[in-house]
């Protein structure tokens, strides 16, 4: 039976035992190196679904300024699985970015074409075999710096075109920033140039469009300097919003992401005097869902040398599960100045520099990584499944190829299980005190005047929340599907009810898509309780509503948006009973695939499970969680 909940509720939690107590940086667990016999520089890397890692960058050809694209794939321990080099002799070819797709990897960067350095995308399968390779013509020289795979399995890219210079450039000041969309095979669908930004750095898909981080030049008080720029476009790349952020000096962005509250995080470096910097320091900027700056922080000088000569350059940021941020880059000097005698090695030695903050950008810990026998500048960072981190670095000490290799460092989790923050109860064990229950920040309720039951909810890309379930009609067993959307503080934005009088209609699951929400459950149709999908736009207006014959009564319990923009569902069909059922013992489990508009493409029944609960797309297919009856030792359970 249901508990008699009168209201749908949203509860937001904060951890009272945060990593603020972990003042010491976690240890490096291992450090491996790969590459060629020439100098190699890594620009980006990430963990892969198989448990290993992939990284992309460039390797020198030995000639001044010439390079080739280099891609390296490792196993979970950092051991080489495959390595690929692509390029034209004597030209500037390099990779900037890599992302994993359902059937391999996409590499973005630049390859030399018929008339210059061209924007490039390269597709590899999981074994490192080349699937396709595309370059994109434009005036002058260009590159792709960041890409995102879209919900319809297309590719959206940003970078620059129109430059007179070749080779990898931190920022192309003489370029023109762009956004470009291709299909899954790399064929151009559309492209647009930015109104002011010379170089797009990162791009993310958001509700109804794309968010881009870029660098721009501004003139304030007669002084030209660089600022960070946020650009928002619609789904066709048309620019809808642009705003700059920064201080009174140069502020540069090199990594960017959409945060869990619907805002944006920028990471790079700053030398704005108004921010208290005297040379390049790490720069972390948080912008809220309303596009207003919430806060900015700078970090640097981890070894305490003369700040006038030390560069602290950040190139990667990730939001961590606790809501905070992890930043990585390099710390060292590029001047005749040289000093030693402090922890962390001499000033001339570049080290991987990692900073961990809380959700407000306050420092929790910082650490330097890499052996002291050579340079180990950090270039990017990502999260690992064990709660730790993986740093991709330019290394002189890892690998057997000499100096300047692709380095990969595994960093331990912040706080091991046997470590705990201080506790006011000394009788508890460390492990018990570490597992303190979080506090409730707020509690809001929404619904109807009848009994309401929530079955599923999630945070939305605008920082708010959406939930679905059912509301009673009053007659025994009858209900309507109920959908509620709130803002970030749990205040009602819209509420929708769908159903047939006197019948059993309800929502079980909701997911966000690029242009709204898909709600799954059951609606009465043609004399039975049928499986149902309902599409809403972001304002709560119904886009379409579909039911699917169920050979008796049925329900959809879980859905997943697929890489091709379709919808895969699981639940049950063939039951004699109606209404919401925790488990349908007399049903038959099902998996069903529709296109983006809910039109049925195929469906199958599960061989033994009477009720599919959740479904997820995995490489090469789908994974379903279900309930089954078994008989063991004469016992049915």
The per-residue pLDDT for range 291-338, each reduced to its tens digit, is 999 999 999 999 999 999 999 999 999 999 999 999 999 999 989 999
Tell me the range of 65-69, 145-149, 587-591 where mean pLDDT is highest.
Answer: 145-149
Structure tokens at 236: 């066709």
What average pLDDT is seen over the chain? Answer: 88
SS3 607: coil
Which backbone phi and psi does 433 adopt, to 5 degrees? Answer: -70, -30
Q: Is residue 21's pLDDT more than 60?
A: no
Q: Is residue 524's pLDDT more than 80?
A: yes
Whether 619 is covered by a domain: the verdict is yes
Which among 158, 153, 151 has a CA at the least distance from the CA of 207? 151
Read off the pLDDT of each residue in 160-164 and give the average, rounded to a whole number. 94
Total count of domains within the chain: 1
Task: For 254-266, write each residue's pLDDT tens digit.
Answer: 999 999 999 999 9
Tell me the range of 36-40, 165-169, 438-442, 556-560 where mean pLDDT is highest.
Answer: 556-560
Whether 576 is covered by a domain: the verdict is yes
Which among 135, 128, 130 has a CA at the least distance from the CA of 110? 135
Q: What pLDDT sits at residue 526?
A: 83
Structure tokens at 471: 């509301």
Q: Is residue 225's pLDDT more than 60?
A: yes
Which among 472, 468, 514, 482 has a CA at the least distance from the CA of 209? 514
Q: What pLDDT sits at residue 546?
A: 94
Structure tokens at 553: 């009564």
Instruction: Using pLDDT thresholds of 50, 70 and 90, give the confidence band for residue 447.
Output: confident
Whether 603 is covered by a domain: the verdict is yes
By residue count, the chain amounts to 637
Q: Is residue 8's pLDDT more than 70?
A: no
Q: What pLDDT sits at residue 436?
A: 63
Whether 341 is covered by a domain: the verdict is no
Q: State the alpha helices, DSSP H only, in 409-484.
A: 430-434
Read off the pLDDT of each residue in 535-553 and give the average, rounded to a whole number. 93
Class of residue 321 by CB neighbours under 10 A (exposed 0-12, middle 13-18, buried 19+)? exposed
Stronger pLDDT, 131 or 420, i.e. the higher one: 131
The terminus-to-terminus CA distance of the chain in angstroms comes to: 20
Return the CATH number at 534.
2.130.10.10
Whether 542 is covered by a domain: the verdict is yes
SS3 211: strand
Residue carrying the six token digits 């151009």: 188
Cα separations in angstroms, 267 against 143, 217, 339, 355: 20, 17, 28, 11
572 Cβ contact list (under 8 Å, min separation 6): 554, 555, 557, 584, 587, 588, 589, 590, 610, 611, 612
HSE value, Cβ hemisphere, 13 Å, CA-based, for 77: 1
Report the C-alpha gap between 94 and 182 in whole angstroms. Answer: 20
The mean-pLDDT minimum among 433-447, 472-486, 518-532 falls in 433-447
Tell me the range of 78-82, 204-208, 432-436 where mean pLDDT is highest.
Answer: 78-82
Structure tokens at 47: 């963990």
Do the beta carbons of residue 83 and residue 72 sit within 8 Å? yes
Whether 504 is covered by a domain: the verdict is yes
Task: For 564-585, write each residue's pLDDT tens digit.
Answer: 889 999 999 998 888 898 988 8
Class of residue 602 by CB neighbours under 10 A (exposed 0-12, middle 13-18, buried 19+)? exposed
Whether 358 is covered by a domain: the verdict is no
Whether 333 is covered by a domain: the verdict is no
Q: Is residue 607's pLDDT more than 60?
A: yes
Report the C-alpha gap between 439 and 499 in whole angstroms. Answer: 37
Mode of pairing for the β-strands spanning 506-513 and 516-525: antiparallel
Domain housing 508: 8-12+438-636
Do the beta carbons of residue 269 and residue 329 sit within 8 Å? yes
What DSSP element (H or E) covers 206? strand 199-206
82 Cβ contact list (under 8 Å, min separation 6): 72, 73, 127, 128
What share of residues in the chain are helix, strand, coil (percent, to 5)?
0, 55, 40
Q: Is residue 252's pLDDT more than 80?
A: yes
Which among 112, 87, 105 has a CA at the least distance from the CA of 46? 105
Q: Is residue 613's pLDDT more than 90?
A: yes
Q: What pLDDT sits at residue 146?
A: 97
Model's pTM, two decimal places?
A: 0.67
Q: What pLDDT sits at residue 212?
A: 97
SS3 202: strand
Report the C-alpha gap between 366 and 504 in whole angstroms. Answer: 56
452 Cβ contact list (under 8 Å, min separation 6): 5, 6, 7, 8, 469, 470, 471, 472, 482
């Amino acid at each position: 039976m249901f508990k008699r909940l009168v209201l749908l509720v949203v509860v937001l939690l904060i951890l009272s035992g945060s990593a603020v107590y972990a003042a010491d940086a976690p240890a490096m667990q291992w450090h491996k190196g790969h590459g060629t016999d020439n100098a190699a520089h890594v620009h980006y890397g990430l963990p892969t679904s198989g448990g290993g890692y992939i990284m992309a960058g460039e390797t020198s050809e030995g000639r001044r300024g010439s390079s080739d694209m280099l891609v390296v794939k490792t196993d979970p321990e950092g051991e080489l699985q495959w390595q690929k080099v692509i390029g034209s002799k004597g030209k500037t070819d390099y990779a900037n970015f890599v992302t994993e797709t359902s059937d391999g990897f996409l590499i973005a960067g630049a390859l030399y074409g018929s008339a210059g350095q061209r924007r490039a995308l390269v597709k590899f399968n999981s074994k490192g075999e080349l699937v396709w390779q595309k370059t994109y013509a434009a005036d002058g020289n260009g590159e792709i710096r960041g890409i995102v795979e879209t919900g319809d399995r297309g590719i959206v890219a940003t970078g620059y075109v129109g430059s007179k210079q070749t080779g990898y450039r931190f920022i192309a000041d003489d370029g023109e920033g762009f956004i470009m969309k291709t299909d899954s095979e790399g064929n151009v669908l559309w492209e647009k140039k930015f109104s002011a930004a010379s170089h797009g750095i990162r791009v993310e898909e958001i509700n109804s469009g794309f968010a881009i981080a870029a660098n721009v030049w501004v003139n304030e008080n007669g002084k030209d300097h660089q600022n960070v720029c946020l650009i928002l476009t619609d789904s066709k790349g048309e620019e809808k919003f642009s705003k700059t952020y920064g201080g009174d000096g140069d502020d540069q962005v090199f990594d960017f992401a959409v945060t869990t509250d619907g805002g944006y995080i920028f990471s790079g470096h700053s030398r704005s005097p108004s921010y208290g910097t005297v040379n390049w320091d790490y720069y972390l900027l948080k912008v809220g869902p309303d596009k207003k700056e919430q806060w900015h922080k700078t970090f640097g000088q981890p070894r305490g040398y003369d700040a006038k000569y030390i560069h602290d350059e950040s190139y990667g940021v990730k939001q961590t599960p606790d809501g905070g941020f992890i930043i990585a880059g390099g710390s060292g000097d590029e001047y005749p100045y040289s000093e030693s005698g402090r922890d962390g090695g001499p000033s001339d030695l570049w080290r991987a520099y990692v900073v961990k903050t809380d959700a407000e950008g306050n420092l929790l810990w910082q650490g330097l990584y890499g052996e002291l026998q050579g340079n180990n500048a950090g270039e990017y960072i990502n999260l690992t499944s064990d709660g730790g981190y993986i740093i991709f670095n330019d290394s002189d000490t890892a690998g057997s190829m000499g100096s300047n290799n692709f380095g990969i460092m595994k960093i331990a989790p912040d706080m091991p299980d046997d470590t705990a923050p201080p506790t006011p109860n000394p009788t508890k064990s460390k492990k018990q005190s570490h597992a303190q229950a979080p506090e409730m920040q707020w509690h809001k309720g929404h619904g109807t005047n009848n009994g309401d039951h929530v079955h599923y909810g999630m945070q939305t890309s605008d920082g708010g929340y959406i939930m679905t379930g059912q509301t009673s009609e009053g007659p025994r067993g009858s209900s309507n599907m109920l959908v509620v959307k709130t803002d970030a503080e749990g205040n009602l934005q819209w509420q929708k009810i769908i159903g047939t009088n006197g019948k059993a209609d309800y929502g079980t699951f909701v997911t966000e898509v690029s242009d709204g929400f898909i709600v799954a459950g059951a609606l009465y149709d043609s004399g039975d309780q049928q499986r149902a999908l309902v599409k809403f736009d972001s304002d709560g207006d119904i886009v379409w509503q579909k039911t699917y014959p169920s050979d008796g009564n049925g329900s959809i319990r879980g859905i997943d948006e697929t890489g091709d923009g379709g919808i895969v569902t699981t639940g049950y069909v063939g039951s004699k009973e109606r209404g919401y059922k925790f488990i349908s013992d007399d049903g038959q489990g099902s998996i069903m695939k529709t296109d983006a508009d809910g039109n049925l493409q195929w469906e199958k029944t599960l061989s033994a499970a009477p009720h599919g609960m959740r479904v997820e797309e995995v490489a090469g297919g789908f994974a379903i969680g279900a309930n089954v009856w078994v008989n063991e030792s004469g016992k049915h359970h």
